[in-house]
Amino acid sequence: MSLWREYVFEKCESTNDLAKEYPPFSCVRALVQTKGRGRLGRVWSSEKGNLFVSYVFPPVCRPSDMSFVAAVGVALALKEYAPHLKWPNDVLIDGAKVCGILTETSFIGTKPEKTIVGIGVNIASSPKGEGILYKTACLNEKGASRTPEEVQGCLNEALTETFALYQKEGFEAIRQKWLSFALPKGQKIKVRLPDKEEEGLFLGINEDGSLILELKNKETRVISAGDVFMENEKNE
């Protein structure tokens, strides 16, 4: 029996907003979003044929862990496409972004109430052109013909598995799995921060999920929020 109780809508503004009204272990999918949201206040293009789904997780001690739980779940669900994870939680196939994850937590006072994990998978199309930061791709241009329902079915199972692993063994087990899908250690990357760009080598993630970057002068930077680009990855 599935862990998830599914709700499907023709259209909504953002499944992350709708999901806030549902109890833990619900998942809310829409065929189209009119105000799809991405990380760092960006717009998530939400054309019919792609997957837009938000999962409601019960409260956990450190809600930021859930982004990594979700990224590992998506990588497992898409494993036939040989995905890679790019910090913090982009899913790439052949170096192009096919999936984004937006994690939001609601609180009662200072106590986390539930965590909403919104997942967008480019299946039939991917946004291109001006305003799109990264190279993008969609699953169906990789040879398969999948429906949003089918991809969600795989996601439901994979997220059940990764959340169970997280509950049993904690963040370290998720961190190890995340690293097994990550770009190779030593890969040259650029990190766009609010006030500057840093260039260096990807060394991994630490025990709270922050990015570890080695600068040219061999100093190490620990970064908790930003956009990572590989060489030639910027969509320009």
Choose the stretch contacting ligand BTN; rule: CB under 6 A; options: 78-86, 100-108, 152-160, 225-233. Answer: 100-108
Q: Does 120 bind ligand BTN (CB under 6 A)?
A: yes
CB of 155 to ligand BTN, least distance (A): 11
Which residues between 11 and 70 bind ligand BTN (CB under 6 A)?
A: 14-16, 33, 36-39, 42, 44, 52-54
Residue with smaller CB distance to ligand BTN, 65 or 90 = 90
Contact 106, 100 (CB under 8 A): no
Q: Does 118 bind ligand BTN (CB under 6 A)?
A: yes
CB of 136 to ligand BTN, least distance (A): 10
CA distance 204 to 210: 9
Residue 10, classed as helix, strand or coil, is: strand
> Hey, what amino acid is at 181?
F
CB of 167 to ligand BTN, least distance (A): 23
Residue with smaller CB distance to ligand BTN, 16 or 162 = 16
CA distance 138 to 92: 10
CB of 120 to ligand BTN, least distance (A): 3
Which residues between 132 and 191 bind ligand BTN (CB under 6 A)?
A: none
Q: Longest C-alpha distance within the chain, in Å?
A: 54
Choose the stretch contacting ligand BTN; rule: CB under 6 A; options: 112-120, 149-157, 199-207, 219-227. Answer: 112-120
CB of 133 to ligand BTN, least distance (A): 9
Residue of the chain from 63, 88, 100, 226 that contacts ligand BTN (CB under 6 A): 100
- Listing DSSP states for 13-78 in one string gives S-HHHHHTTS-TTEEEEEEEESS-B-GGG-B----BTBEEEEEEEPP-S-TTHHHHHHHHHHHHHT
Contact 50, 123 (CB under 8 A): yes
Residue with smaller CB distance to ligand BTN, 47 or 141 = 47
Number of residues in contact with ligand BTN, rule: CB under 6 A?
Answer: 20
Q: Does 92 bind ligand BTN (CB under 6 A)?
A: no
At residue 65, φ and ψ (nearest 5 deg) are -60, -30
CB of 131 to ligand BTN, least distance (A): 13
Q: Exposed, middle or buried, 11 (CB in 10 Å: 0-12/13-18/19+)?
A: exposed
Q: Where do the DSSP E strands lie in 90-233?
A: 90-93, 96-108, 111-121, 188-192, 197-205, 211-215, 220-223, 227-230
Can you name the residues that pair with 92 across neighbouring β-strands? 84, 97
Binding site for ligand BTN (CB under 6 A): 14-16, 33, 36-39, 42, 44, 52-54, 90, 100-102, 118-120
